[in-house]
């Protein structure tokens, strides 16, 4: 079975709990969540860059951090994960919502994948 690492950088952090509930409803498991910050968020905290990024903060003052979600999933589950993320967030194609990408997994030890 081909496996993928699904990485979701969620800018709409207020959606995290609902997203995890949606994953559970769809029998998707094994998510690991990390607090994260993007480069623009980090640079905006530098005093010499503060003016440059002030407009961004006025437009979206709550967006100070992200959540990065890692999930190992069978290739067949990737469309289900994408559908769940888009349902909860309103769609990743919308600006400042987040990004999702996948990478191949060559080996996976310590995690049992259950196909349903």
Transcribe 43-110 into DSSP letters: HTTSGGGHHHHHHHHHH-TT-S-EEEEEEEEEGGGHHHHHHHHHHHHS-TTSTTSEEEEEEEES---S
* Separation of alpha carbons 41 and 23, rounded Å: 28
pLDDT for 71-84, tens place per residue? 999 999 999 999 99
Tokens of 111: 């995690």
Reduced to 3 states (helix: H, G, I; strand: E, B; else coil), residue 22 is helix
Per DSSP, 11 falls in state S
Tokens 């079975």 appear where? 1
Q: 22 phi and psi, to 5 degrees? A: -65, -40
Residue 84's pLDDT is 98
- CATH of region 3-37+65-105: 3.30.70.120
Q: What is the mean pLDDT of the chain?
A: 84
> Does the pLDDT of residue 61 top 90, yes or no?
no
**Predicted TM-score of the model (pTM):** 0.80
CA-based radius of gyration for the chain? 16
> Is 113's pLDDT higher than 90?
no
- What is the rounded distance in angstroms from the CA atom of residue 54 to the CA atom of residue 63? 13
């Amino acid at each position: 079975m081909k496996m993928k690492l699904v990485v979701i950088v969620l800018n709409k952090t207020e959606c995290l709990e609902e997203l995890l509930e949606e994953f559970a409803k769809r029998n998707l498991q094994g998510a690991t969540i990390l607090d994260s910050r993007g480069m623009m968020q980090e640079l905006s905290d530098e005093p010499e860059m503060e003016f440059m990024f002030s407009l961004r903060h006025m437009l979206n003052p709550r967006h100070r951090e992200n959540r990065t979600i890692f999930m190992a999933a069978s290739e067949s589950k990737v469309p289900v994960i994408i559908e769940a993320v888009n349902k909860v967030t309103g769609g990743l194609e919308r600006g400042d919502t987040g990004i999702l990408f996948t990478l191949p997994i060559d080996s996976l030890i310590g995690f049992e994948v259950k196909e349903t």
